[in-house]
Amino acid sequence: MNRKADIIVVGTGVAGLFNALNLPPDKSILMLTKTGADASDSFLAQGGICVLRDENDYDSFFEDTMKAGHYENDPASVDVMIRTSPEIINDLISLGVEFEKKDGEFAYTREGAHSKPRILYHQDLTGKEITSKLLAEVKRRKNITIMEHMTMVDLICDGNTCFGVVASNDDNEISVFEADYVVLATGGLGGLFDNSTNLQHLTGDAIAIALKHKIELENISYIQIHPTTLYSKKKGRRFLISESVRGEGAILYNQKMERFVDELLPRDVLTKAIHEQMKADGSDFVWLCMMGIGSEVIKKRFPNIYLRCLEEGYDVTKECIPVTPAQHYFMGGIKVDLDSKTSMEHLYAIGEISCNRVHGANRLASNSLLESLVFAKRAATHIVRHYEHLSDKNTVVDINDFRDLEQLQSRYKKIILDEIERSSASIERSYNIKA
């Protein structure tokens, strides 16, 4: 299949969807997604989305983000994210997104490494609330087409200009899609790990493809471990216990049922403390106690966590649950500027696959949805302002390069892992990468 569009967006998480919604209605937009349109990590986000409450909150919001990132953040990126946050929240509300309110005013919660409450939320399903509303609006737009079960296997490039995507469907049939612009919103790489909160099909293929085409990358070894996921011996994705739980008062205990740490430390610091405690205890987990929050509050504020834990045999209103760290988020990725432009012309990257250095070496809780939305909109704005139609290319794609897709995926995986290893040895070796 050969097909043309004005703009191709690869990925249907919050970044890809919001980018498409901010592109002009007179442009034909083709969205490609690896599985179903609703199978993105964005749907899984529990905690919430940060927002600048007022000008008095700016300095502390900025400092909290920088401190959590060990001051390796780009101050300009952090400033853009914070300053744009009220605009993004208004955009979401106009699209039907609902946030928790108390007495008619927004309710704010606090999470680890935040000096004050500034996080809007929708129960413990904030990602689902936002992403589902964006997806519904995308499906209403006549200029946007979503093609599911289409895996990007390569970019089509001419020199340092991108003008399309090569993709395969579930039957391994190859399709060529040409466009004036390509926006990568392919998510993270948790599928490379045995223990991850990510969906398993998110394997960071875009990183390998970027390396192939000499597109600049940055901070590839910056991979965040989340401190608290529900411990299980089952294989597959780990269920995240939101940082908001600790923000609302949940306590961590060792095997002697002694509190051993400040639960609101930055994620990487808390992860290290938990790992050290597990080693001292000779255990694969520590205990998390939510009971102090109160039964009614738990059921109202964290209904998804409550029900999921019940399914696993734990009643969080009456007992502690075992938790353990797991791979969670990718702070590195394809290097972009403040408009999400990559080093290749006509190619943008947004969301978790991109690196605009806003998170530094460690992401502050609930900045991920905000960062994705802010820079997805900036990418759309930049494309519109500088739109340049590429003259029709005589595309030649050698299909033989993609005959053995299983081998290709294995090669991409090796390329990514080799690059992570080359970039740095900073990944916690206790979180095994899949062989």
Helix (H, G, I), strand (E, B) or coil at 288: strand
Q: Does residue 267 have an active-site annotation?
A: yes
Q: Which amino acid is at 285?
A: F
CA 411 to the chain's CA centroid: 24
User: In this structure, what is the dihedral angle of CA atoms 434, 202, 200, 266, given to the nearest 10 degrees?
Assistant: 80
Helix (H, G, I), strand (E, B) or coil at 52: coil
CA–CA separation, 1 vs 144, rounded Å? 18
Backbone angles phi, psi at 10, to 5 degrees: -100, 105
Asked if 197 and 238 count as a contact pair (C-beta separation under 8 A), the reply is yes
Helix (H, G, I), strand (E, B) or coil at 335: strand
Rg for the chain (alpha carbons), in Å?
A: 21
Burial class, 148, CB count within 10 angstroms (exposed 0-12 / middle 13-18 / buried 19+):
middle
Strands (DSSP E) contained in 124-280 are 144-147, 151-158, 161-168, 174-178, 181-184, 217-218, 223-230, 251-253
Q: Rounded to a whole number, what is the distance in angstroms from the first to the last CA of the chain? A: 34
Of residues 267, 301, 363, 378, which has the active-site annotation?
267
Distances (CA, A) of 270 to 86, 255, 330, 368, 422: 30, 17, 18, 19, 26
CA–CA separation, 307 vs 290, rounded Å? 14
CA–CA separation, 366 vs 207, rounded Å? 24
Look-up: residue for tokens 């289409």?
150
Asked if 316 and 290 count as a contact pair (C-beta separation under 8 A), the reply is yes
CA–CA separation, 231 vs 131, rounded Å? 27
For strands 181-184 and 7-10, give the pairing: parallel
**What are the catalytic residues?**
267
